[in-house]
Amino acid sequence: MLLGGGSGALKIEDVWGIEYYTGNGGPAVGGSNIVINNGLDLAGHGGLIITKSYDNVGNWNWADSEVKQYTGYPNQPGIGSLGQSNSTAYHENVHAVSGAPTYGYQSFNNNGFTIGNNWLGENNSGHAFTSYAFRKAEKFFDVVTYTGTGSNPQSVSHNLGVTPGMVIYKSYGPASGNTSGWLVWHCDAYQGTAAGGNQSILTFGRLDSSSTFWSEFPNSGGWHTPFDATNPDASNLYLGYDGSGYITDPSMINVLNEEYVAYVFGGGHDDDTGIIKCGWYQATGSSGLSITGLGFKPGFLMIKDLDQGTGGWFAYDEGRSVNGLSGGPLAMNTNAAQLTSGSSGGAADYGITFDSDGFTINNIHPGMNGSNTAYNKHIYIALKTLT
């Protein structure tokens, strides 16, 4: 599939889409397919789609253009297996009850994508959904798949063309004991305080967990990271040890013969697109904390604390009343409905506003803006508004 962003500067509307829809259950229960027209050529370029019901409990479903389609149903139309960021399970291929392929996402189109049946919560009848779509493009986003070697290190090439701002890894088969977590690398996820802390210590998080970022795992041979202490660069991702006594957590990314997908996002330190930004900020414990310097007004924002372990992966988007205290986030690590933001600006609130050059945190929630301690650091990824 094509990756290039075309001639000239990248435009956010060509590579990123947010659309909302109401589920009808799909053809299997008398409903219909739902065509999402977000303006993205996902058929020609490939990419990633994510959906979540925001008024109800339900999975975060992820599907991309690169993960293998289930081979047991070669004539069944549809996109390949689905992963859920609120679970460590393998990407699903077959519905447990019917035995039919999941294929709740029917196709990538030249103007978006099509949703089919409600196998895993993609089309839950009567409920409101948000959908996010990333189109593959240089400097913005790439999807790569690879097979674990168990060796240290393994380099995996990508086509982003710049050093990534964030990478999310997930295993998707074959069926074995390793159902890995959704491991996250972020360009500013270092230990420490103001100035980024110790730049030699790479930390990593789990998108399926609210827990803190970790630096290294101990074992009898010393301390080791999944990345072999090597940052991604403009050409490659670098993978460390497998689970043979080195990393004892399920968030391994290079187990022998395991299949993996990596979602590679731009917005890193050398970004010049003006549409995506990965960064960090220090909490103050005071409502009204302003984060500036993005170079654009956001339309999407995801925040995670590094070392408090008190907050989820909070995702905000411009279509769900985010510009005001009434708007609440979705937590990518849980299947919960949209969180409700109060108006007091307190520790139980989630209010955020999107500003012309950044965002303002109108709360003192410990997962976003708790007490200003030496290690109360937060990372984020932001995308430019579509409006």
pLDDT tens digits along 200-224: 444 556 655 555 555 444 444 444 5
- Asked if residue 368 belongs to a domain, the reply is yes
Same-domain pairing of 297 and 315: yes
Which has the higher per-residue pLDDT, 243 or 240? 240
pLDDT tier for residue 250 given thresholds of 50, 70 and 90: very low
The pLDDT of residue 144: 95
Q: How far, rounded to the nearest angstrom, does the alpha carbon of residue 10 sit from its chain's CA centroid?
A: 21
Specify if 1 maps to a domain.
Answer: no
How far is 191 from 263, CA to CA, in rounded Å? Answer: 23
Residue 348 confidence (pLDDT) above 50: yes
Choose between 196 and 374: higher pLDDT: 374
Share of the chain above pLDDT 90, in %: 35
Question: Are 86 and 103 in a shared domain?
Answer: yes
Query: In terms of domains, do 107 and 151 share one?
Result: no
182 and 106 housed in the same domain: no
Strand order in the sheet with 16-22: 16-22, 128-135, 47-53, 61-64, 83-84
- 92 part of a folded domain: yes
Task: Give the residue numbers spanning the domain of 237.
Answer: 141-265
Average pLDDT of the chain to the nearest whole number: 78
If asked whether residues 131 and 34 sit together in one domain, one would say yes
In the chain, how many domains are there? 3
Q: Within a domain: residue 271?
A: no
How far apart, in whole angstroms, are the C-alpha atoms of residue 265 and residue 167? 6
Judgement on whether residues 309 and 376 belong to the same structural domain of the protein: yes
pLDDT tens-digit profile of 55-88? 889 888 888 888 765 445 444 545 555 677 767 6
Same domain, 298 and 331: yes
Let me know if residue 366 belongs to a domain. yes
Flag whether 5 is in a domain.
Answer: no
* pTM (two decimals): 0.88
The pLDDT value recorded for residue 112 is 96
Domain boundary among 135, 156, 190: 135
Q: Please report the pLDDT score of residue 105 as a whole number.
A: 82
| Contact present, 83 and 171 (Cβ < 8 Å) | no
**pLDDT bracket for residue 365 (50, 70, 90):** confident
Both 105 and 213 in one domain: the answer is no
pLDDT above 50 (res 283)? yes
Residue 4 lies in a domain: no
Q: How much of the chain exceeds pLDDT 70, in percent?
A: 67
Q: Residue 70: inside a domain, yes or no? A: yes
